[in-house]
Structure 1
Amino acid sequence: MGTGLVGTDLADVTSAEERLRRWRLVLGGGDGAEGTGCALGERDAAMDRTLAAVYGQERQAGLGGSAPRVARWLGDIRGYFPSSVVRVMQRDAIDRLGLATMLAEPEMLEAVEADVHLVGTLLSLGKALPETSRETARAVVRKVVQELEKRLAGRTRATLTGALDRSAKVHRPRHRDIDWNRTIRANLKNYLPEQRTIVPERLIGYGRAAQAAKKDVILCIDQSGSMAASVVYASVFGAVLASMRSIDTRLVVFDTSVVDLTEQLDDPVDVLFGTQLGGGTDINRALAYCQSQITRPAETVVVLISDLYEGGIRDEMLKRVAAMQSAGVRFVTLLALSDEGAPAYDREHAAALAALGAPAFACTPDHFPEVMAAAIERRPLPIPEN
């Protein structure tokens, strides 16, 4: 019994010491200055310095203007923290300390932990990237894109192939086109025990022509600075959709001008470097272009990805959405396509779209295939709860 109590006491002491250690690292402030009374070992002291560089406002540690010093710091945080934490710290360092321009240097790019937000930062630098850094930047972007494709492509193709098959289902198929598994399930109620057979009152099959299931998808992407992560994900999804023979995919990006990047869809890295993050927003102009590209309204899905801060003509934008829907187009509005959840957005415009039957909502990349499948099948959209 005594041993058990001692064990419990030791566990409590260890737990208390660990809590103090963590509070010391959170609070910073130098030895003893933060009030925890917890002394740091050599590794923790080094970790504390890396945290102080970004979060130690009172100490004004910072990273200075030295690229080698920043590169060392990037290497240090990768040694002390897991990748998920490293990415957050990198993002905070870029935001708090203005390190974006330093990322134009090849040695810096080689030191960072690549993720969607870093890609967004590189794209926002655009022409500010010197020639000596562009190949390194492309390599960083390609690495992130390949990781995203590996994560998202298989499930997207499987989900949308199923949706396309179901949308092409016919109930008066030719004999060789009958889907016997579905037909049997649909007619089980007509089983005749004495004959040990099923009377197939309803035949289910698939149309022979690929055109029966073919859909047109237009991704219309706001490339204002706040939409950087959405642009990255949408470019990856655009490439995945373009690889599917049953989907004719068009990718359009816009700010106050409109650029059609469909010809680059075979390589999402080319798509991303064809964007120009930042600037104003003219959704009406972008939708006018998309509307001009629609030839089969009843077989078309238009996906607008925007925070809806319209700089163009609001009433015309809404009229275009209403006109497309009246013609048979399935219109989907995503406030963001990212893992960050609902962004800041124009609530008045979102409410106006909802009144037209086109609700606007944020969507994670993992949920996007389900949204697209519902749009293709013309089912109610699976809107995630906020």
Structure 2
Amino acid sequence: MSGRTLVPALRSVSIGATCDVAVVQILVGQSVADWQNKTLALAEAFRAERVTIHSRRRGEVNITVHHNDALACVVRLPRPSRESHADLANIDVGIIESGTRWSVPVLGHHILVAGATGAGKGSVLWSIISGLAPGIRAGTVRLLVVDPKGGMEFGRGQQLFAGFAYDNGERTLALLRAATQVMQQRAQRLRGHTRLHAPSSSAPLIIVVVDEIASLTAYIGDRKVRSEVEQLLGLLLSQGRAVGVSVVAAVQDPSKDVLPIRQLFSMRIGMRMTEATQTTMVLGAAARDAGALCDEISTATPGVAYVCQDGRAEPIRARAFHVTDADIDYLAEHFRPSIGKAAR
């Protein structure tokens, strides 16, 4: 009707230490995306640091107004004890905005960590390794690590690894071939018996960690080597999860030409990035619309990230533990794997 103003109904408001949350009933004809497109304007109106909008239930949205950053402070790594065990479905790697632990599942998943230089990718990778350390010591987890930058990131902790390659040539090929061979042998043995491998000391969870995966998929000069590396990575990512072979990889440039296999990662972690398009490439357009603004993460908060996992509609904002050289030395000293049988 002419001259009539329709106003969305405010259902509830809750006030918090760092953010306020309003539940609003949206108008007929509006969508959640309509509201998400106005987050920058709402942040200006509320004089807030940022505003995120999520679907609560049909016809309602949660408007979260962030006045302060709950993740502004560095979070020290809680070192595991020798008596602790690794929960492979919930590896603690940091905290989320609510203050609770940020946990990631490793068993049955592949994890991609994307971010610019200095964004804190190493913190995420080392936090995952720290959470896995009790399993490494017990023999139920084996790490195969590829550090194409000459071992600068992971060389300090190489005593934790069952395999370590610090080039983008023959050593890396040998490591990927070994992981693929174990994967294929397990698939033959487990076919028809189980849908998800149960790690044990005789058949551990194998995790292939790659520090800069673009070095393997785009920057290898030898076409024959690059082609085989891409084939092996594709096999591991498409067939490894069910048989206990997972890939955890970091990438600085997540462009399509550099990482065409990024959609095979079931969990994607977006850290600070330089362009909005990179956020969309890693997490998807829907995640950015829901508030995953990786290109707006401050350089003063390395380790902060937005996390998307298959099966979850909304991204979460988290900060990884800060892992020091002393922490890595502690892990290498107390959790190095014992010499045992080869994985099968």
TM-score normalized by structure 1? Answer: 0.28
* Structure with greater contact order relative to length (CA < 8 Å, sep ≥ 6): 2
Higher helix share: 1
Q: Which has the larger radius of gyration?
A: 1
TM-score normalized by structure 2? Answer: 0.30
